[in-house]
């Protein structure tokens, strides 16, 4: 199927990380997928570093140390909950992250994403009460592999010419979809890259 998918730079589900996270879950539900919450958390860590809530530093042996600005916190409730989970696990001091807590948190993101797609008509309940894609939603879900193919073939000069907000958006989805090798290739090909790309190359290593 992926061979028939055309690359497309359109951000999946109007740029909604929550909706895309739920759509990924729904696409792979039958195979037991319960959400790539590591990629999800990385997308939020990138957002926080751009906003100045978090700062990351990578050592020569590729270990990343995160530091929170204790005067600033996320304002969105679900982000604040993630923030408190990471703080309570002493992430700044190399503490072990509670996977159960992250999984419980990611279920709330799934619920919010489901609600978004119900409102847009991309999903609906069938006669047995099981949530499924509508025809419209299935077509929209193809934006995931389309975006992945686009990002996998995106040249560094083209990425550097994007405006900063767009760079962050594309990297957020790259992290969500686990396109780590592509991000590393950008970094390795040229040290003179946008700061947000350097951030993305660090935040996924936090977990």
Task: Give, for 38, the enclosing helix (H) or strand (E).
Answer: helix 37-51
Handedness of CA 111, 114, 120, 124 (dihedral sign): negative
Token pair for 32: 């037991």
In sequence order, the 6+-apart residues with CB closer than 8 A to the CB of 96 are: 89
- Domain ranges for the chain, please list them: 16-203
Spatial distance between the Cα atoms of 129 and 10, rounded to a whole number of angstroms: 31
In the predicted model, is pLDDT for residue 69 greater than 90? yes
pLDDT tens digits, one per residue of 2-41:
568 899 999 999 999 999 999 999 998 865 555 578 999 9
Full-model pTM = 0.93
- To the nearest whole number, what is the mean pLDDT of the chain? 92
């Amino acid at each position: 199927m992926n061979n028939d998918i055309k690359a497309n730079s359109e951000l999946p589900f109007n740029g909604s990380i929550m909706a895309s996270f739920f759509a990924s879950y729904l696409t792979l539900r039958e195979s037991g997928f319960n959400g790539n919450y590591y990629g999800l958390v990385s997308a939020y860590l990138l957002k926080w570093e751009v906003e100045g809530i978090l700062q990351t530093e990578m050592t020569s042996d590729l270990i990343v140390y995160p530091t929170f600005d204790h005067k600033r916190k996320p304002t969105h409730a679900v982000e604040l909950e993630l923030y408190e989970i990471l703080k309570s696990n002493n992430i700044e001091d190399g503490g072990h992250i509670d996977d159960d807590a992250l999984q419980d948190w990611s279920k709330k993101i799934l619920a919010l994403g489901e609600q978004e797609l119900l409102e847009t008509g991309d999903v609906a309940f069938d006669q047995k009460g099981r949530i499924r894609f509508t025809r419209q939603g299935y077509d929209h879900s193809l934006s995931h592999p389309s975006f992945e193919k686009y990002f996998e073939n995106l040249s560094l000069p083209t990425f550097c010419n994007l405006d900063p907000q767009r760079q962050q958006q594309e990297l957020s989805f790259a992290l969500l979809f686990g396109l780590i090798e592509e991000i590393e290739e950008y970094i390795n090909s040229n040290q003179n890259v946008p700061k947000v790309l350097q951030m993305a190359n660090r935040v996924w290593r936090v977990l």
